Amino acid sequence: MKRKYFLTQAQIRQIVKHYGGFYRYQYNPNVKNEYDRLYLCQKSNKYLWLCIFYNYKKDLIEVTLTNDTGLIIQRDNWINKDNEVKYITEYSVIQATL
C-alpha cells in the first residue's frame, strides 16, 4: 500500500503561482480543507474558487477553477514526479448557451 501524503508548501506555492499567486488567492475561510484537498478563493471575489485535489495513488494533481455560480470553468492536471510538480494538460469547459 502506497503511503498517503500531501504536497509540500513549495509545490502548493508553485501551483497557486501559475494561477496568479497568493496576491490573487487566499485560503477559503468558509470551507474546511480536507486531507487531500485545498480550497482557495479570490481575494476580490470569494465566490471564485480554486480547488487543488491530490490523488496520491496516481501522483496526479487536479486543479479546478469555478465561476461565481459554482460551475467548473477549467480543470487542469499536474503531475508529481521526483518531488517536483509539472503542468501537463488543460481542460476548458465550454458552456452551452440555451
Number of domains in the chain: 1
Instruction: Establish if 97 belongs to a structural domain.
Output: no
Tally of helices (H runs) and strands (E runs) in the chain: 1, 6
Please tell me the predicted confidence (pLDDT) of residue 53. Answer: 94
Range of the structural domain that residue 65 is part of: 9-92
Beta strands in 29-95 (DSSP E): 37-42, 49-55, 60-66, 72-81, 84-92
**pLDDT at residue number 55:** 87
Set of cell numbers at residue 29: 475561510
Q: Does 35 have pLDDT greater than 60?
A: yes
Give the Cβ contact number of residue 39 at 10 Å.
Answer: 18
Distance of alpha carbon 38 from alpha carbon 51, whole angstroms: 6
Q: pLDDT digits over 39-94, tens only?
A: 999 999 999 999 999 988 888 899 999 998 889 999 999 988 877 888 887 665 54
The domain that holds 66 is classified in CATH as 2.40.128
Residue 65 lies in a domain: yes
Q: Is residue 4 part of a domain?
A: no
- Give the per-residue pLDDT at 50: 96
Whether 70 maps to a domain, the answer reads yes
Q: Measuring CA to CA, which residue among 65, 79, 68, 61 is closest to residue 19?
A: 65
